[in-house]
Structure 1
């Protein structure tokens, strides 16, 4: 009876075999342990130790740099961050270009800009083109600009120069030098005066010398004499007024003396003569007792 039941139920037998197989496989899987063992585990620990060492060294170097550079919440060392800019308490060495809108020293202390070769200051306009340029070299100073002004502490112009004219705003312009000063063009001034204890000399070595004034022209020497020397002619001309020679004595030496024909000359010599003038303006001397005239052959008025 039992044999017949086993033969008649093959499906139940198959189910029992599958259940036993699953139980055995579960037991096998539960006996396996997952992980890293052997040389792989040692390499992982070594890598972790190397990374930890690098992190410690990097942190130590960072702290050392912060200590050496003196970093703080206010700035770095002698360089402090203030509202509107930076403040430097010591010297600054600039290796390349320095771009700033304003550079000024602390109150009561000077500012010194020093270079081993040259110093160049450049200014550009709104379009970026160069407008002004200052170059301080080893043995030269160059300035390129349209207008150049020098002002005093009151804001008044002491010296200004542009393409048309050069203006000196001081009370007096003093020029020293043994060779004097050479002007290629004209000079307009209201007073030309020599230094105390020295002579004033106006000279043109190859051409003429002209002195003009819109109103009065005064030649004065308070401690010496006035001398006018020329190779050809010396002309004093006044369009409307007169020429005044104000002195205790006016001497015109080497004037020619006219020969009078209407009256015979006596043997007596005279120390006083007449000063005669031709129509052309030439001067000559004549006898005090004769007519202020000369013979035609003298050629005094030619």
Structure 2
């Protein structure tokens, strides 16, 4: 064997045979293969957990083809069943309860209902709070069940009550700071009607007359200083079986002396002073009003 043949035989045969196809390694081997399988397995687990959570949310929230939970969407609008809580503003056109249940709006502080115009300006407001109920609007009205009669209305000019009967059940009665206009004031059955002005004047006026009647009881008018019955054109007519004027001053004869004694006077004559004051004068054979004019002088 020559020296060149020995060298060729000792070296590895890395040369491809002429005429043969080249051989390339195909596939992922080693740690790359293990990472790929790990990521595929992790993706499969995430998909299974996501599908399970989606099914659980659909079950808990009660998703259906008509809505979600207590919310149902129909042709008339949106229907809520049970207790609903809104954390953000709610914009709706109409809120209506079921026919067999009331509509309840509940809040921990107050319930406020606002009405605005097309420019966003506040035109009406209703506040229901724990201390008071406030309404802010141009005109406030309360209608009857049929909606045809206005039972109560109030604006900045007047307050109107359209009910057939106004009943004030308070023990202190009704207090009016200014004038009141009404065609009829009547007390309830078996109750007294009392018109009182503790510190000011009580005035009753009517263009065609004022009528005061007590069919089943007494009529009593008292005052601290003066009571005036004034008629400009007509007359003051007192029609009763008995007319009594109590606490009238007594006049005496001018010629009588303090030490004179005589029979006790039981019959008196009613006299009138020029200023309108009434007094009693002892009756005699003739009028004794002129003889007892000392009452008029000191009045």
After TM superposition, the score normalised by the length of structure 2 is: 0.81
Deviation of 1:46 (Å):
1.4
2:231 pairs with 235, 238, 241, which one?
238
1:135-214, aligned counterparts within 5 Å?
A: 135-155=127-147, 156-214=149-207
Larger displacement relative to structure 2 (34-43 or 215-224): 34-43
Deviation of 1:297 (Å):
3.0
1:113 pairs with 85, 105, 110, which one?
105
For the 8 Å contact 1:260–1:290, the answer to whether it is kept is no
- Alignment correspondent of 2:294: 297
Q: 1:56 to 1:271 in 2, by over 3 A?
A: same
Q: How many Å separate the matches in 1 of 2:298 and 2:210?
A: 29
For the 8 Å contact 2:139–2:155, the answer to whether it is kept is yes
- Alignment correspondent of 1:228: 221
Deviation of 1:154 (Å):
2.4
For the 8 Å contact 2:251–2:293, the answer to whether it is kept is no
Q: How many Å separate the matches in 2 of 1:139 and 1:267?
A: 76
Q: How many Å separate the matches in 1 of 2:67 and 2:177?
A: 59
- Alignment correspondent of 2:10: none
After TM superposition, the score normalised by the length of structure 1 is: 0.80
Q: Does 1:253 align with 2:246?
A: yes
Specify every segment of 5 or more residues in structure 1 that has no aligned partner in the other structure, as ranges.
1-22
Please list the CA deviations of residues 46-94 of structure 1 after superposition, one character each: whole Å capped at 9, or x if unmatched: 1122112111211121112112222111112332111131112322222
Count of residue correspondences? 278
Q: CA RMSD in A?
A: 3.0
- Alignment correspondent of 1:8: none
- Alignment correspondent of 2:47: 55
1:134 pairs with 107, 126, 139, which one?
126
Q: How many Å separate the matches in 2 of 1:220 and 1:57?
A: 90
For the 8 Å contact 1:282–1:301, the answer to whether it is kept is no
Deviation of 1:272 (Å):
4.8
For the 8 Å contact 2:251–2:294, the answer to whether it is kept is no
Specify every segment of 5 or more residues in structure 2 that has no aligned partner in the other structure, as ranges.
1-16
